[in-house]
Amino acid sequence: MLEFNIDGLIGPTHHFGGLGIGNIASESNRSRVSHPRLAALEGLSKMRKLHELGKPQFFLPPPKRPNGRWLKAVGFDHSNPDDWKRCFEFFPTVFSSALSSSFMWMANAASVSAGVDCKDGKSRVVVANLAASLHRGQECEERFMQLVDLFHHSNSMEIIAGIPGLTPLRDEGAANIMRLWNAHNHQGIYVFVYGDGGRDAIEKNGASTPQRSATLHPSRQTLLASRLVSNLLRIHDTRIHFVQQHSDAIDAGVFHNDVIATSHENFLLVHSRAFHNQPLELERISDTFLRQNGEALRILEIEESELALEEAVKTYLFNSQIVTLSDGHWMMLCPQECQQSEPVQKMLRRIQKVESRIRDIAFVSLRESMANGGGPACLRLRAYATEREIRELPARYRIDDESLDFLERFIASEYPETVRLHDFLDSDLRAHCEWISNSLFDYRKSSRP
C-alpha cells in the first residue's frame, strides 16, 4: 500500500477576507491585496516538486465562485447588479464567503483511513462538514462530488458524505488527525485531536479528562465529531486515540493540530504545548504504537524554551510536509518563512540530528497561502492505495508533465494578477472567474469560447 497526495488548486477568486476564526494570519491580513495568479502557481510549484520526486500526486480543481446556489439560499442573486452590490455593502462577510477560495487546503477537506487498519479491510474517505466556518461549510457537498468522481472506479475506497453540519459536530478533517504507521506492513494508529470535549468528554478510548475551554478563540473540532468520524472510517478501536488540544495553543492561533504537530511513518514531531496532559498522552500513544505495530514510536518533543509557541505559529514549522523518497530517506518541505527564522533553523538542525532519515530539507514559497494561514501540509490530503489502484484513478486529476505544463500556462494567462474584495463587483471579472473554474473541471479540453 502506498501513500499518495491530493492537492486542491486555488481558485481565481482568492482574496483575504479574514474569515478564518482563530486563524491569526487570516485575521491579520484581512482586506490586503491578494495575488490569485501567484497563489495558484505557488501551489502548483509544490505539486511539481512532489511529482519530480516520484510521489503520486493528484489535484482537484476549484469549485465555481461566486457560489450562486449558496447565495440564493441566503437571499441574494449575484446576477442582479443591485442585489450583488447590496450584499457587498450590508453583508460583506456573506459577500466574501460566496467568493471564498479556501478550498485550496485539502487537509481540511476530509478524513482518510487505510484499509489495512479497518475492520473490513476497506479504505474510506469521510468528507469534513467544516461547520465551524461560514465560508467553508459550503464546500462539503462540492468536495464530496469531486471525490466520488475521483474514486468512482475504485472498489477499495468508499467516499462518505460528512456528518451533519451542526455546531456540536464541527469537523475539519485530516488537519486534526495524525496517522502513524509501520513502513514494513503499513499498518498504523490514528491520533484524533479535538479542541472542545463538550458533554462527550469522558475517559474512553484514550481520551483524557477535558481541560478548560480556550479563552480567546473557539475550537474548530469537537470530540464527538472525531468519534463519529472514526466510527464512519471503520478503524479498529484498538488503533485510535483521542487527544485534546492545549488551550494555550488554540489561543496562540493553533486552529488545527497540523499547525503544532506533524507525523510521518513512525516519527512524531510535536511542540510541548500541543496537547492537554501531554506527557501521559504521548506515553499512551507510544504504548499503542508498540503494541499494534511491533516497533517503537520515535517522538521529538520541542520545548517552549527551544521554540516559542508564537514563533511556531508564525513560521508554520509543524505544517511542513515530510515525504519518503525512492531510496527510503525522507525530505522535509518547509515554508520559506522557516528559512528566515533563526530559532527554526536551529530546530531544523536538531530535527535532522535526531531523525537521520530526514536527509534533505527544502523550502517552498507559499506566500499567499501562508498569509491566509496555510503551509505545505495544509495543501494536501494524504490517501492510501495500491500501485495498481493509483494507476486506475482518472487521468484528468493526475499531476504529470502534461497537466503541469498546461495548468501553469493557463493560470499565467487567465488568472487575475491582483484583486481586492470590491473588485468582484465587476460583472466581467466575475464572469471570467466562473469561466476559469468551468474550464478547469475538464482542463485537458479547455479552450476559450
Q: What is the pLDDT of residue 205?
A: 46
Q: How far apart are CA 294 and CA 284, in angstroms?
A: 15
Q: What is the pLDDT of residue 200?
A: 57
CB atoms near residue 283 (< 10 Å) = 11
CB atoms near residue 148 (< 10 Å) = 15
Beta bridge partners of 222: 196
Q: For the whole model, what pTM was predicted?
A: 0.91
Separation of CA 392 from chain center: 24
Q: What is the pLDDT of residue 84?
A: 94
Report the SS3 class of residue 331. strand
Q: What is the pLDDT of residue 103?
A: 78
Give the domains, in start order, of the chain with CATH numbers. Answer: 2-65+100-445 (3.75.10.20)
Backbone phi, then psi, for 46, in 5-degree steps?
A: -65, -40
Q: How far apart are CA 131 and CA 140, in angstroms?
A: 9
Q: What is the pLDDT of residue 134?
A: 85
Q: Which residues contact 342 (CB under 8 A, 6 or more apart)?
A: none
- From 286, 341, 281, 284, select the one nearest 311 (Cα to Cα): 341
Q: What is the pLDDT of residue 229?
A: 98
DSSP 224-252: HHHHHHHHHHTB-GGGEEEEEBPHHHHHT
Q: What is the pLDDT of residue 24?
A: 58
In tens digits, what is the pLDDT along the chain, a chain of 449 residues?
889 999 999 999 998 765 556 555 555 666 688 899 999 999 999 999 999 999 999 999 998 999 999 999 999 999 999 999 999 999 999 999 999 977 788 999 999 999 999 999 999 999 999 988 888 889 999 999 999 999 998 888 999 998 999 999 999 999 999 999 998 888 999 999 999 866 555 444 444 555 545 456 677 799 999 999 999 999 999 999 999 999 888 888 877 888 899 999 999 999 999 999 999 999 999 999 999 999 999 999 999 999 999 999 999 999 999 999 989 999 999 999 999 999 999 999 999 999 999 999 999 998 888 776 678 898 999 999 999 999 999 998 999 999 999 999 999 999 999 999 999 999 999 999 999 988 887 654 543 33
CB atoms near residue 50 (< 10 Å) = 21
Beta strand extents in 9-87 (DSSP E only): 57-60
Which three three-digit cell numbers place residue 133? 466556518
Q: What is the pLDDT of residue 30?
A: 67
Q: How far apart are CA 338 and CA 363, in angstroms?
A: 8
- Could you tell me if 404 and 48 are in contact, meaning their C-beta atoms sit under 8 angstroms apart? yes
Q: How far apart are CA 64 and CA 14, in angstroms?
A: 12
- Catalytic residue set: 172, 256, 378
Q: How far apart are CA 373 and CA 24, in angstroms?
A: 7
Long-range pairs, 150-153, Cβ under 8 A, ≥24: 150/6, 150/58, 150/60, 150/393, 150/394, 150/397, 151/125, 151/393, 152/394, 153/392, 153/393, 153/394
Beta strand extents in 61-200 (DSSP E only): 110-113, 123-127, 157-160, 177-181, 188-194
- Could you tell me if 35 and 418 are in contact, meaning their C-beta atoms sit under 8 angstroms apart? yes
Q: Which residues contact 279 (CB under 8 A, 6 or more apart)?
A: none
Report the SS3 class of residue 57. strand
